[in-house]
Homo-oligomer: A and B are copies of this chain.
Amino acid sequence: EDQKRQQAAKPSDPYSSDPQRHPALRVNSQKPFNAEPPPELLSDSYITPSAIFFKRNHLPVPRVDPASYQLQVEGLPRPLSLSLQELKTRFPKHTVTATLQCAGNRRSEMNKVKQVKGLNWGIAAISNATWSGARLRDVLLAAGCGPDTAQWARHVQFEGLDKDVTGTTYGASIPLNKALSEDGDVLLAYEMNGEDLPADHGYPLRVVVPGTVGARNVKWLGKVIVSGEESSSHWQQNDYKGFSPSTDWDTVDFKSAPAIQELPIQSAITQPLDGAMVEFGEEVTVRGYAWSGGGREVVRVDVSLDGGKTWQVAQLRSGEEEGEAPAPSPPPGRAWAWKLWELVAPLPPGVQEVEIMCKAVDSSYNMQPDSVAPIWNLRGVLSNAWHRVRVKVRMEED
């Protein structure tokens, strides 16, 4: 009621048609809306409920009429304009479980080293959902994409329907070979977790690029353009790139680094929380998530309860229920979804404080870097050092 009145009072607010959000979300920015769930909710369910799936909007949420919606497909011999109905009926429906992660996930840990520019994300700008839609590959083939296309084209650009006050839309691109590969599983998705996409996740249509940074998974998709060039958008050219810790805003040359596409190996502890109290003499239950980009499967998570002196191997879990046999591995290069993990172990004796750390390994045996400072970068992206939480041990009263 209050919100309605607010919107009525400020009709010029471009955010006035943003949807309602779940109250459990931790808001990093209201306009545009950016929020993450409490970490302990993340590891509660292998598939993140849509309402608490992290929200990362660059611009106001556009309200799109599904009846008049048309997707434009350009740059190919047979340009297409496809209604939502055509997207659903002309192309086979394909379903993929894929984890999305913001490039800025865990940025707050970089801020502790030295201030960076960007939203102060904790460890939960990552979530896992089941997505359904048409394969981008099928749509591109229908538009006449063929063996000759690869002679001149290298990229597929996406334009969102979300715009800033000057009319500039959100945009990004991915390599053409990712879009065309049968094993790439890139979707033009109209469903998330079995329902229409929510407004915050791109209703009525978004791109889902499994294994690739969130920023390329363009929401409220308006246009697909096959091109010789990457997207010219700010977010492709002058943002979402990694640099050396020595690079500052005076020296940065955005042309010198590639746009982030596949993300590196990542993991974090969702339980216990930093600063929590655990009982001496009881076993501690440590839980978290682990994921890697590019379809690389997480094959191991090591956990240390003694600040890194010794490591124990955590139990990994995919979609299977507790007590069920482990889910079989997906084909190589198509492991798009995270693993949840758990370790139950006694605390080391005689300590009042414990530093718990985790580090994951993917199927290419990539490992996380030990510490934050050497991977610090001015935009605070790609923050994937070992995750550390400190817990206090409550001694028995005696």
- CB within 8 Å of B: which residues of A? 154, 175, 177-178, 183, 242, 244-247, 257-258, 260-265, 293-294, 297, 299-300, 302, 308, 310-313, 331-333, 359, 361, 363-371, 374-375, 382, 384
Chain B residues in 8 Å Cβ range of A260:
365
Q: Which residue of B175, B257, B294 contacts A364 across the interface (Cβ within 8 Å)? A: B294
Contacts A244-B312, A264-B366, A264-B367 known; 15 new A-B pairs at CB < 8 A: A177-B333, A242-B365, A245-B310, A245-B311, A246-B302, A247-B313, A258-B299, A260-B365, A261-B332, A261-B363, A264-B365, A359-B374, A367-B384, A369-B370, A370-B371
User: In the complex, which residues of chain B have a beta carbon less than 8 angstroms from the beta carbon of A313?
Assistant: 244, 246-247
Query: B365 to A382, Cβ gap below 8 A?
Result: yes
Indicate if the CB atoms of A363 and B246 lie closer than 8 Å: no
What is the minimal beta-carbon distance from A206 to any residue of chain B, in angstroms?
22
A359 cross-chain contacts in B, Cβ below 8 A? 374
CB <8 Å contact, A246 and B175: no
What residues of B have a CB within 8 angstroms of the CB of A371 in the complex? 370
Complex CA distance for A384 and B244, rounded to whole angstroms: 19
The residue in chain B whose Cβ has the minimal distance to the Cβ of A370 is B370
B residues near A375, Cβ cutoff 8 Å: 367
CB<8 Å pairs between A and B, sample of 30: A154-B331, A175-B331, A177-B332, A177-B333, A242-B361, A244-B300, A244-B312, A244-B313, A245-B302, A245-B310, A245-B311, A246-B302, A246-B310, A246-B311, A257-B299, A258-B299, A258-B363, A260-B365, A261-B332, A262-B363, A263-B364, A264-B364, A264-B367, A265-B366, A302-B374, A359-B374, A364-B366, A365-B382, A366-B366, A367-B384
Q: Which of A261, A299, A374 has the most CB of B within 10 A?
A: A374
How far does the alpha carbon of A382 sit from the alpha carbon of B245 in the complex, in Å? 25
- Roughly how many angstroms separate A313 CA and B252 CA in the complex, as a whole number? 12
Oligomeric state, in copies: 2
Chain B residues with Cβ below 8 Å from A244 are 300, 302, 311-313
Q: How far is the CA of A361 from the CA of B366 in the complex (A)?
A: 11
Which of B332, B363, B367 touches A178 (beta carbons < 8 Å)?
B332
Interface of A is mostly: loop
Chain B's closest residue to A369 (CB) is B367
Q: Which residue of chain B is the closest to A293 with respect to CB atoms? A: B364
Query: How long is the Cα–Cα vector from A359 to B361 in the complex, in angstroms?
Result: 18
| Residue ID in chain B nearest A259 by CB atoms | B363
Q: Shortest distance in angstroms between A152's beta carbon and chain B's nearest beta carbon?
A: 13
Residues in chain B near residue A366, CB distance under 8 A = 264-265, 364, 366
Q: Name the distance in Å between A220's Cβ and chain B's nearest Cβ.
A: 26
Residues of chain B lying within 8 A (CB to CB) of residue A333: 177
In the bound assembly, the distance between CA atoms of A178 and B369 in angstroms comes to 28
Q: Which residues of B contact A294 (CB under 8 A)?
A: 294, 364
**A313 to B244 alpha-carbon distance, docked (Å):** 7
Complex-state Cα separation, A127 to B331, whole angstroms: 30
Closest CB of chain B to A295's CB: distance in Å? 10
Smallest CB-CB separation from A357: which chain B residue?
Answer: B374
Question: Which single residue of chain B is at the shortest CB-CB distance from A243?
Answer: B300
Chain B residues closer than 8 Å to A262, beta-carbon distance: 363-365
Among residues of B, the one whose C-beta sits closest to the C-beta of A251 is B313
Question: How many angstroms from the CA of A183 to the CA of B363 in the assembled complex?
Answer: 19
Among A245, A333, A364, which residue has the most Cβ atoms of chain B within 10 A? A364
**Residues from chain B with Cβ under 8 Å of A370 in the complex:** 369-371, 374
Q: Is the Cβ of A177 less than 8 Å from the Cβ of B331?
A: yes
A246 near B374 with CB under 8 A, answer no
A311 cross-chain contacts in B, Cβ below 8 A: 244-246, 374
CB pair B261–A364 under 8 Å, yes or no, is yes
Q: How many Å lie between the Cα of A361 and that of B369 in the bound state?
A: 11
Report the bound CA distance from A362 to B183 in whole Å: 22
